[in-house]
Structure 1
Amino acid sequence: MTTRWNPSAVSEELLNLTLRLGEPDLDLAILAEGNTSELLDDDLIAVKASGAYMSTATPESFVTASTSELVAMIEDPSTTQAQLTAALDAGTQEGERRRGSIETLIHVSVRAFTPARFVAHTHPTAVISLLASVHAEEAFAQPAYSDEAVVIGAPLYVPYAPPGIELGRAFHTRLRHHMETTGSVPALVLLGNHGIVAISDTAAGCEAISLMAVKAARVRLGAHAAGGVVGLDPEHVADYWSREDFAERRGTISGLPQ
């Protein structure tokens, strides 16, 4: 069985991260939007179940899923949405249907390339405002200010694809290309017309990356209102990634390798 219901596998860190990102005042997700996951071992993640609210999550709001089995489905061109839906089904538990989030493939795809402990996917209004605009693809091409460059670095952009098997394939293809090209995992992935994915070895890092993405979007929206965005000079950005003090700050805040 690819997906199982096992509340005892849900850590306090994962639950607290989920509840924190689901707080209404943060405007990262409402209703049943968004999902989080934690890598449990080489082939297993705990991921939020479909229909569960992040703001009121409990250990019962998660399922566990096999990364290798789901990655194999992504890479098999014959896999259908119906087959994926069946694979994410953990059955009826305590009178409720438990099924992995429709965006579970995002979480397993990340683990196909890096053993990042935490992944958080949310739908911040400010970021989606840019990702649904004519500026979507180039909106975050250059950092707009210094701390953004340190915490987020260079995000990966993935054009819109319907959630499910189509998004899983598009995400997987773009992430593979990014890893082959840069040799590193992005801290932030931007999903066109959809939302963001924060990747970190720590729960605090996922929160920091998510919040920084929101501030970076608000800065851009304000700059566009004032006439346009002037990004940081590439030489300055390169310095942020080579300086020892900035590397230490990046590792402390975002939970990324120094």
Structure 2
Amino acid sequence: MTAVLRPGLVGEELVDLTRRLGEPARDLVILAEGNTSEMIDDDRIVVKASGSSMRDAQPEAFVCVDLAPLVELLRDPDADQARLTAELTAGEADGREVRASIETLVHVAVRAVAPVRYVAHTHPTDVVALLSSTNAEQAFAEPVYTDELMTLGRPLYVPYAVPGMNLGRVFLERLEAYQHAHGELPSLVLLGNHGIVAISETAAGAESISLMAVKSARVRSGAHAFGGLAPLTGTEHYFDRPDFASRRAELAGKGE
């Protein structure tokens, strides 16, 4: 089976991260929105189950999935949503069917490119507002303040696609193009009309990226209210500076 229930494989850090991101005051998710995952070895990840709340996460709310068959499915042009659903179904618990999140392929796509430990997907209201605007693709195209640049790096924008097979394929295509262009994965992926994906080697980094994305959305909205945005310019050289790279690794968990 591709997906199985293995609560004993779910780490405390992942559960704590999931619950922190699900805190109502942070407005990152509501109801059963959002999902997180951790790579537990070269072949497997644990990812939040469909329909479960991040706020109340427990080890039983995660599903262990094998990466190889899902990467194969992701790259198969003939694979359909029904096949994905079957692959994500882990069995029954307490009389109900348990299935890995429909957005599991987002988490799988990241690991198809690089073995990153944590991925966190949320739907922050302030960010989704910008990503649902007519300027969505350019909303985060340029940095606005230094800490944003350090934590978020160069965000990747992915246009809207229906969650499941469609989103997984578009997401993987854009990630591979970004990797080819920059030699690394993005820390933040912006999903048009949808939400964000934070990618980090540490739970603290995934949390920092998620929260900084919210602040960045609010800063942009505020700047537009005061007459327009004045982005930072000439920032590309920062990525070649050792001091910047070190601080960025600390904030975003880049795994220096």
Length-normalised TM-score, structure 2: 0.98
Question: Following the alignment from structure 1 to structure 2, what is the Cα–Cα distance between the partners of residues 245 and 137?
Answer: 30
Residue 30 of structure 1 aligns with an amino acid whose one-letter code is: I
Q: Residue 227 of structure 1: CA displacement? A: 1.9
Corresponding residue of 1:227: 227
Structure 2 counterpart of 1:177, which letter?
A: A
AA aligned to 1:28 is L
Larger CA deviation: 19-28 vs 239-248? 239-248
C-alpha separation between the residues in 2 aligned to 1:240 and 1:127? 25
Shift of 1:240: 2.7
Structure 1: distance between partners of 2:25 and 2:247: 26
Offset of residue 243 of structure 1: 2.4
Shift of 1:139: 0.5
Q: Is the 8 A contact 2:202 2:253 kept in 1?
A: yes
CA RMSD of aligned residues (A): 0.9
Q: Is 1:243 matched up with 2:248?
A: no
Shift of 1:130: 0.4
* Alpha-carbon separation, structure 2, partners of 1:226 and 1:186: 30
Check the 8 A contact 2:161/2:167 in 1, yes or no: yes
Task: Tell me the distance in 1 between the aligned counterparts of 2:129 and 2:25.
Answer: 17
In 1, the alpha carbon distance for the partners of 2:208 and 2:237 equals: 21
Counterpart AA for 2:142: Q
Query: Which amino acid counterpart does residue 98 of structure 1 have in structure 2?
Result: V
Q: Following TM superposition, by how much is the alpha carbon of 1:219 offset from its aligned partner in structure 2, in angstroms? A: 0.4
User: Which residue of the partner structure matches residue 251 of structure 2?
Assistant: 253
Provide the residue aligned with 2:165 in structure 1: 165
1:45 aligns with 2:45: yes
Structure 1 distance, partners of 2:153, 2:7, is 35
For 1:224 and 1:87, the matched residues in 2 are separated by 45
Equivalent-residue separation in structure 1 for 2:182 and 2:201 (angstroms): 19
1:192 corresponds in structure 2 to 192
Instruction: Give me the whole-angstrom Cα distance separating, in 2, the residues matched to 1:106 and 1:185.
Output: 13
Aligned-residue offset at 1:15 = 0.3
Instruction: Give the drift of 1:252.
Output: 1.0
Structure 1 equivalent of residue 27 of structure 2: 27
Mapping of residues 104-143 of structure 1, within 5 Å: 104-143=104-143
1:171-186 equivalence runs, <5 A:
171-186=171-186
- Name which of structure 1's ranges 94-103 and 115-124 shifts more when overlaid on structure 2: 94-103
- Distance across 1 between alignment mates of 2:183 and 2:106: 19
TM-score (norm 1): 0.97
Q: Which runs of 5+ in 2 are unaligned?
A: none
SS of the residue 2:197 aligns to: strand
Q: How many residues align?
A: 256
Is the 2:150–2:251 Cα contact (8 Å) retained in structure 1? no
Partner amino acid for 2:146? S
Rounded Cα–Cα distance in structure 2 between residues aligned with 1:228 and 1:166: 35
Residue aligning to 1:207: 207
Paired residue type of 2:254:
L
Shift, 1:257, TM fit: 3.7
Distance 2:91 2:114 in 1: 29
User: What residue is the counterpart of 1:18 in the other structure?
Assistant: 18
Distance across 1 between alignment mates of 2:12 and 2:82 = 33
Q: Letter of the aligned partner of 1:198 in structure 2?
A: A
Gaps of 5+ in 1: none
Q: Give 4+ residue runs of structure 1 displaced > 3 Å after superposition.
A: none
Is the contact between residue 117 and residue 200 of structure 2 (CA under 8 Å) also seen in structure 1? yes
The 1-side partners of 2:96 and 2:247 are apart by: 44
Instruction: Indicate the SS of the match to 1:167.
Output: helix
Q: Would you say the 8 A contact 2:3–2:63 is kept in 1?
A: yes
SS at match of 1:68: helix
- In the TM superposition, residue 96 of structure 1 has moved relative to its aligned partner by 2.3
Cα offset, 1:245, TM superposition? 2.2
In the alignment, what sits opposite 2:153? Answer: 153
Give the partner amino acid of 1:18: T
Q: Which shows bigger deviation, 93-102 or 54-63?
A: 93-102
2: CA distance between counterparts of 1:82 and 1:149? Answer: 40
